[in-house]
Amino acid sequence: MKFTKIQGSGNDFIIIDDRENKFLGKEEKLAVKLCDRHFGIGADGILLIRKSKLALIEMVIINSDGSYAAMCGNGIRCFAKYVFDEGIIKDNPLKIQTGDGIKEAFFTLKDGIVDKVTINMGAPSFKPQDIPANCSEEIIDKKVNIDGKQYSITTMLMGVPHTIVFGKLKNYDVLEGRVIEKYGLFPEGSNVNFCEVIDDKNIKIKTWERGAGATLACGTGCCASAIASNKLGFTGNKVLVKAPGGKLLIEIKDDGIFMTGSAVISFKGECKM
């Protein structure tokens, strides 16, 4: 099996061309084996390239623990770059089918190669039934007590569920996200972002991802954190989000949330399955 290892802001993935559906029904075992950092290739998840009847191409995301993810911001940037640079589809913009609907990727090229990718991530939802969350009201700056510690949380669906906790990053261990993820308010769990506001144009975050654990960056988490900080009046409509693995520019517009960043191929190879 041929594969490509690629990363976006340190969030790393294994891309596999599965347009012939050779791994259909085997995605969970494939992800667990390949993503193991000691006995496999090592990654936060796998991205499968599939044919689509709804868009030009389909991206299927499987987390490192074998669970399915509807959307991944860093993943779709990596996916889009690979599909374009490898000549699978050369459309710019490129429409991609995901579990969170069809997303559009816009490319900035340098010498014919993708340098930056901008994704229209769509709109967030604060509706509890969409997240989903076991409550009737929107979760915005809500005080909760989890495992003996009080947090003020803001939660939304940004392709996948995201919970944002504001404060100084030094006051939070990213492993606290493991407990917040499983909080009873979230029947299907939640990604967790600890967010510190630097000024009205800059924030920094660290993320605990549902299904992957602590990661160097999370595209949907950067979007959710920018949206939450804007909604609470901390930042404007355009914010630079700094994660441990890199920076993403998030712009809040009337027609969607636009995320811009790079994607870098680490290496290519073959392995036996």
- Going from the C-alpha of 262 to that of each of 139, 163, 178, 211, 214, the distances in angstroms are 32, 25, 28, 23, 20
72 has catalytic annotation: yes
Q: Which of 35, 195, 218, 222 is catalytic?
A: 218
Q: Phi and psi (nearest 5°) for 41? A: -80, -40
**Does the annotation list 230 as a binding residue?**
no
63 is in an annotated binding site: yes
In terms of Cβ atoms closer than 10 Å to its own Cβ (0-12, 13-18, 19+), residue 17 is middle
148 labeled binding residue:
no
DSSP code of residue 125 = B
Q: Is 237 annotated as a binding residue?
A: no
CA distances from 128 to 185, 200, 212, 233 (A): 10, 28, 24, 22
Q: Do 139 and 162 touch, CB atoms closer than 8 A?
A: no
Q: How far apart are alpha carbons 158 and 191 in whole angstroms?
A: 10
Q: Is 191 annotated among the ligand-binding residues? A: yes
* Bridge partners, residue 102, by sequence: 97
Question: How big, in percent rounded to 5, are the helix, strand and coil portions of the chain?
Answer: 15, 45, 40
Is residue 21 marked as binding?
no
Which has the closest alpha carbon to 247: 260, 228, 235? 260
Q: Is 219 annotated as a binding residue?
A: yes
Q: Has 223 been annotated as catalytic?
A: no
Choice among 72, 78, 222, 223 that is catalytic: 72
- Please state the residue numbers annotated as binding site for substrate: 11, 63, 73-74, 191, 209-210, 219-220
- Residues designated catalytic: 72, 218
Q: Which residues are annotated as a binding site?
A: 11, 63, 73-74, 191, 209-210, 219-220
